[in-house]
Chain A
Amino acid sequence: MKNEKSGVDALQQSVLIHEEVKVVVVSCFEINLMGLNAILLAKKAGERARGFGVISGELRLLSLELQGEMQRLGLLTQELLAMATARLQAERRLARLTDAAAFSDHVAQMLNPAMEKTRSRMVSFNGGAHFAECLEDAYRTCTFGLVLARSARIESAYSGDLRAVLAELSEEFAQKITAVLPRLDALSRITKKLV
């Protein structure tokens, strides 16, 4: 994070990140439920839908992986929030001290050490690289998810009576995962400002 980034900016960014993360976590939850549903359907279809069932299980694991990545982002956001709060507090204190110092040179001289100390509390956030790393992992997970959704589509063609239902389900998997990508883009844009 650049030194001039104010506490208010950092606080607002932490809120934006948190909101995006929440949306992705909801998607993860939905993918997980869809995966469970798909496994049950595949079981119903018998041996011919075994491949579809295995892929659905993989998609469930993938949703948990993505959720874990979002949790990491959430923890980083908490760090950002703590930093933003400390910085905001320091900024406000510095403003009051600066107001007092403006009364006279004598007062300014006395308050100078306190002002320096307060400035030193305005720590910069250096977690931008961690955000980027975490988002790259999430992108990789989603890309792999899309590959899995395509494979599920292929497997659905061999699933006997339930093939139409499973084909639809595989399409929903792909849509749900595709919908996560713009959220990751948004997170990437927000967190880029932190690097």
Chain B
Amino acid sequence: MKKALLIASAAEHRWFAVSRDPARPNHLIDTNEYVVTTGADSLLCDPGGSEVFPAVFAALSEVIDPRTVQRIFSSHQDPDVISSLGLWHDFNPQIKCHVSGLWGGFIPHFGGEDNTIVGIPDEGGTLMIGNAPLTIVPAHYLHSSGNFHLYDPACKLLFSGDIGAALLPDADSSLYVEDFDRHIRFAEGFHRRWMGSNTAKKVWIDRVRQLDIELLCPQHGAIYRGEDVKRFIDWFDALKVGLD
């Protein structure tokens, strides 16, 4: 089963990563889910596909009360990101899902009603968790046309969706990147193919270089921390991606 591990905390809130399920069937890509919680209010980032819902729900229940999950943040529209939405709504029909306005009419195919989808404008915005603001960072065309990341200035944590993702061998079970040079080999092919545009990449890099990031948390693979965050951004900056 997946495990929920504390990866960051600030005065008011804590971040947990839900990852690494040894029982995951091989035909499913491994995913990381993240939750930030104040105790009374929790925001779940990229809750995962419907097939992993049982493992995610059970792992979350170990560290938070799932009834506190009132909001879901979906970086983009892919099924491995958000197809469990219908199950979360079965559990609590009031849960709001924040996702690019571009995908507002698509996501309800996974579940929910029109009043539970909150469209994020292209320029991003802010979500509050308790008294702490979280910045919604645009990442369009990397790799989805309507794509967002979430930055927590208090914890210096960037939830980066598919950016930073690596398709790791099963033996690599560490939650954090331990050997950057070895790790990045598993990220290269993914980024070359799945990131659509060098222009979009440049916009994103200019934006995140202004942020103070201690943890860069992707939806697949391992978490970059400390110096590896800058290493990753520099590596990504130099990488030719997509078609342009």
Give A contacts to B, CB under 8 Å. Answer: 89, 92-93, 96-97, 99-100, 102-104, 106-107, 110-111, 114, 117-118
* Cβ contact within 8 Å between B67 and A104: no
CA distance A102 to B53 in the complex (A): 12
Determine if B38 is an interface residue (Cβ-Cβ < 8 Å).
no
Partner of B61, one of A92, A102, A110, A114: A110
Q: Known interface pairs A104-B61, A106-B61, A107-B61. Does A97 touch B1 (Cβ–Cβ under 8 Å)?
A: no
Is B91 a contact of A96 with CB atoms below 8 Å? no
Contacts of A102 in B (CB 8 A): 54
Contact B58 A107 (CB under 8 A): yes
* Cβ contact within 8 Å between B58 and A96: no
Cβ contacts B31-70/A at 8 Å (1 or 0 each): 0000000000000000000110111011001000011000
- Whether the pair B53, A96 counts as a contact (CB closer than 8 A) is yes
Is the CB–CB distance between B58 and A118 below 8 Å? no
Q: A110-B66, A110-B67 are in contact. Are A103 and B61 (CB under 8 A)?
A: yes
CA A70 – CA B54 in complex, angstroms?
Answer: 44
A129 CA to B58 CA, complexed, in Å? 44
In the complex, the answer to whether B87 meets A97 with C-beta atoms within 8 Å is: yes
Q: Give 19 A-B contacts (CB < 8 Å), ordered by A residue.
A: A93-B87, A93-B90, A96-B50, A96-B53, A96-B84, A96-B87, A97-B54, A99-B54, A100-B55, A100-B57, A102-B54, A103-B1, A106-B61, A107-B57, A107-B61, A110-B61, A110-B91, A114-B87, A114-B90
Query: In whole angstroms, how far apart are the Cα atoms of A132 and B66 in the complex?
Result: 48
Q: In the complex, are the beta carbons of B90 and A100 less than 8 A apart?
A: no
With A110-B67, A114-B91 as given contacts, are A100 and B86 in contact (CB-CB < 8 Å)? no
Cβ-closest chain A residue relative to B92: A114
A111 to B67, CA, bound (A): 10
Q: Do A103 and B54 touch across chains, with their CB atoms under 8 A apart?
A: yes
Interface of B is mostly: helix
Size class of B's contact patch? 10 to 19
In the assembled complex, the Cα of A100 lies from the Cα of B90 at a distance in Å of 13
B57: chain A residues within 8 A (beta carbon): 100, 103, 107, 111
Given A97-B91, A103-B61, 7 more contacts at CB 8 Å?
A96-B51, A96-B54, A100-B57, A103-B1, A106-B61, A107-B61, A114-B87
Q: Interface of B with A (CB < 8 Å)?
A: 1, 50-51, 53-55, 57-58, 61, 66-67, 84, 86-87, 90-91
Chain B residues lying within 8 Å of A106, measured Cβ to Cβ, are 61
- Complex Cα gap A104–B58 (Å): 8
Q: Which residue of A lies closest to B1 (CB)?
A: A103
Closest A residue, CB atoms, query B93: A117
Indicate if the CB atoms of A103 and B58 lie closer than 8 Å: yes
CB closest residue in chain B, given A101: B54
Q: Of A97, A103, A104, A107, which one neighbours B90 at CB under 8 angstroms?
A: A97
Say whether A100 contacts B58, CB under 8 Å: yes
Measured between C-beta atoms, what is the minimum distance from A80 to chain B in Å?
22
Contacts of B58 in A (CB 8 A): 100, 103-104, 107
Q: Which residues of A contact B84 (CB under 8 A)?
A: 96
How far is B1's CA from A118's CA once the two chains are assembled, in angstroms? 24
Chain A hits for B1, CB < 8 A: 103
Report the separation of the CA atoms of residues A96 and B57 in the bound assembly, to the nearest whole angstrom.
10
Q: Which 8 A-B pairs have the closest CB atoms?
A: A103-B58, A99-B54, A100-B54, A114-B90, A100-B57, A114-B91, A96-B53, A107-B61
Complex-state Cα separation, A28 to B84, whole angstroms: 46
Q: Which residue of B lies closest to A95 (CB)?
A: B54
Q: Which residues of A contact B54 (CB under 8 A)?
A: 96-97, 99-100, 102-103
Q: Roughly how many angstroms separate A89 CA and B50 CA in the complex, as a whole number? A: 12
* Max count, chain B CB within 10 A of own CB: residue among A100, A104, A117: A100
